[in-house]
Structure 1
Amino acid sequence: MTTSSGSQARPSRVLGTADAVTLGASAMVGAGVFAVFAPAAEEAGAWLLVALLIAAVVAYCNATSSARLAARHPESGGTYVYGRERLGEMWGYLAGWAFTVGKTASCAVMALTFAAYVAPEWSRPLAVGAVVCLTAVNYTGLRKSTGVARILLALVLAVLAAVVAVALGGSEADARHLDVSTQWPGFFGLLGAAGMLFFAFAGYARIATLGGEVRDPSTTIPRAIGLALAGVFVVYLLVGASVLTVLGRERLAASAAPLADTAVATGWPQLVPAVTAGAAAASLGALLALILGVSRTVAAMAADGHLPRFLARVHDRFGVPHRAELAVGAGVCVLVLAADLGDAIGFSAFGVLAYYAIANASALRLGPDENRPPLLVPVVGLAGCVVLAFSLPLNSVIAGVGVLALGAALWWVRRVLPGLRS
């Protein structure tokens, strides 16, 4: 098998468990928690928390499969590496392709979300500025990146805790909004909501894609993924219950800013500026972690010749794939300035689910002496990814299938025309 073991693909191992948990949690507790409950409630209604549980179960299976694979393949690149080593070069390439394209779109969405909260009239220039600044932070090394992520995560969690406290502790909370006997949304409604909510969980991939930069990866990666996922599930459960019990399905589904509207409905409008600041901080935290993860996958694919090899170079001083960092930052800036991202969120969700489907299929190839997870875990994860992906809106499914097909065609062309390999 092709490997990325050359000297240029060896970044420094500087991340401990706390650092990895911080990066994973900051990627999950991003801008999505401030917006995702509205469209999910429109689909699932009172079954919102059931959809959240379904998303969490699929995420747990994916996290377990990813952790076991990362322990066996402690290299940067995540499922790109696992698919390549366990299923074959094409599947690894498709995983890397889905992750890179989908998450580059997610980076643009996060940047635009940050700018929309801070200064809507200057959204695109401000979004570009945010991308440039965070790319510069990542360029100078992971220790600084984790420090910034830790600060942003603390700010966001403080804001969420304040909203949950005033919502569940106030007189506006109505537990009848959680009564699942009032309405059955149908399987597509329930699973479609779960697919949207799963997208908000998907940040734990950042931990696995940083496999080449953590200390003692066989212990650190599984522990960090489990801790980050469990903590974020509790946060989402509390936030989801808060906004649904206060606003109800109809008001929540119609809300453009559910947490801010919850604060106002409970008689705490003075929390709105803090919620706005929290949404901005969450977007920046997620953007920081997303750029990290995408750039590592780009560097791993470049080291194997699927992308131009010069992108795999690691900086002599900072120990990061600086050229991949700059390339990803530039790509996100182009999307921010030129692209219509109205359907990008759904497409990105499809790409993430395809990525994890390959991760679970790779986990099925682990041997009994390789700390293989129980068979049910990757089977449920694989089936869950496929079902949730095809429960998304039709436009997102069509776009996702088309982009994956394009990636497969490019891989085939490279195989048929060896001169295109570099």
Structure 2
Amino acid sequence: MKIVKVNDLISIKRSIESGTTEQLAVVKNIISDIRSSGDNALRDYTEKFDRVKLDSFLVTESEINEAYRKVDSEFISIVREAAENIKSFHEKQLRPSWMTTEENGSILGQKITPLDSVGVYVPGGTAAYPSSVLMNVIPAKVAGVKRIVMVSPPDSEGILPAAVLVAAKEAGVEEIYKVGGAQAIGALAYGTESIKPVDKITGPGNIFVALAKREVFGDVDIDMIAGPSEIAIIADDTARPDEIAADLLSQAEHDPRACSVLVTPSMKLAEEVAGEVEKQLAILPRKDIASRSIEDFGVIYVTSSIEEAVETVNQLAPEHLEILTENGIELLGKIRHAGAIFIGRYSSEPVGDYFAGPNHVLPTNGTARFSSPLNVDDFQKKSSVIIYSEKALKDNGEKIAKFARMEGLEAHARAVELRLENR
């Protein structure tokens, strides 16, 4: 890993999500075809991209039962425990509707309503991501969403990974479709003969999925356009170099464009971690991916102090932040920008990925400066409630009318004044 002074700060922003002109054109064409030809277009694209011809996209109950037979009982037990942890954490985010009565008799409030329907995209390809199912579905269930639809690309046999189907069943998904890519996003947004449209789409995917989500945004809501994974670690001499290296590589193995950063005031630690990274890379199964990530986006910053390390991290605004320092909890209040914060040597980032309970769908690419992890609020909407009293309108009606005329909206003013005249 590169070791540099902090004044050579390198941005973790990577522009992969914008795609190329050709990729964007492909996505636009796919979505247009889905809107005009529905299931026929879905079948054509599934045959083209996933190399399987499907008569029906819907996952059957027998396929789910078969998935349970393929996974071992210990995995099912782990999924259930993880799901309970995730549910328990997100239930604490629930907020009630509220009303307040003013002295003049008016009632003002906020009504919280769950979205009617949500579509969850689960990536396919060479890996299965049951954790992604749990993290997207469970907050929606906790929020009260009645219809949750899951889509995921099938393999060449027309089958979804058993672990993904088991996680979906345990999370309470009742509609699962074997479709992926931009065509799946188009189907969720605009509907086909088989798939009714949804109100919001969440979940990660490749560049074509990301571009498709961006394309349909406005007709439906989306969670975010997620970039490659990131981890930043603040550490001092009390931290173990081998554990830091392992945590850095836990993100590097995701993607060649994943970003792994250590920030420390200790040159000794920096050099030891760099050595450990090379040592552990040599025996990593996903060595090729992780090596490219470390080479292009791995860096160790040496600062003059822990305070400077904290400020460096705030500039980076990473997706994941680990604090591996003596009394690390004391730094928490100084962290302004991070998607998820892990404090102490037993809080390795994968603990949050799978089991602890907080959501692992996090802001990337520096967007932790202004956005939050996926949460219950993302699956609800808020309506303002105004029950104005006669006294309140009498007291404030002329002020409202004057405000309206200042904006040149005479009808607004008259709508209020008419009620004053008719009292």
Quick one: higher RCO (CA 8 Å, sep 6+), 1 or 2?
A: 1
Task: Using structure 2 for the length normalisation, give the TM-score.
Answer: 0.23
Taking structure 1 as the reference length, what is the TM-score of the superposition? 0.23
